[in-house]
A = this chain, B = another copy of it.
Amino acid sequence: MAQGTADIETLIELLSKLPGLGPRSARRAVLHLVKKRKTHLSPLAEAMTTVAQTARECLNCGNIGTADICPICEDTRRENGELCVVEDVADLWAMERAAVFRGRYHVLGGTLSALDAVGPDELRIPKLIDRISSEHINEVILALSATIDGQTTAHYIADQLGDVKVTSLAQGVPVGGELDYLDDGTITAALKARRTM
């Protein structure tokens, strides 16, 4: 089934595997891109190549950046003794969009899950414990999803951390809600009303 050429079919195939896209929207996207070769396709191809060559996980916090240590971990103004623990980079970005938290982050990369056999070592929890002392953290804010796995993970971490103050986002996070779906106002309210665990 020849639709265009092998190169264009390969592009459609790869785009259709992105979350949220399917074969039909991938075809639409490629037709759009081919029509806008100069103004959209070329810059997009360039941006992808750059990110493919440079993107990596921050060795300290798990955020995505283009160096071994991400801009947030490099920024000494964010060394305020507060550490916000999130499940995923998408949640870190959601927090940054709310622009209300001025400390640093720790990205777990998921939640504890007996079902999926995800244990503490898979979640950068040992690294989190290291950071509490090496970065002189005096408050750990658990910004985890209000799901069963999220809350199990929050309680597990609170138990591990010993003396440091541990708080969690509370007011405003709907039950069963995932952080990345919330608007900025809700995140701001939840952070301001955080409670000690």
Contacts of A18 in B (CB 8 A): 29, 32-33
CB-CB under 8 A from A88, the residues of chain B are 31
Which of B2, B4, B31, B45 is the one whose CB lies under 8 Å from A48?
B45
Query: Which one of B29, B45, B64, B66 lies within 8 Å of A49 (CB-CB)?
Result: B45
Establish whether residues B11 and A48, one from each chain, have CB atoms under 8 Å apart when the complex forms.
yes
Q: DSSP majority for the A interface?
A: helix
Question: Do B19 and A66 touch across chains, with their CB atoms under 8 A apart?
Answer: no
Task: Using CB atoms and an 8 Å cutoff, list the residues of chain A in contact with chain B.
Answer: 1-5, 7-8, 10-11, 14-15, 17-21, 25, 27-34, 37, 40-52, 54-55, 63-66, 70-72, 88-90, 92-93, 96-97, 99
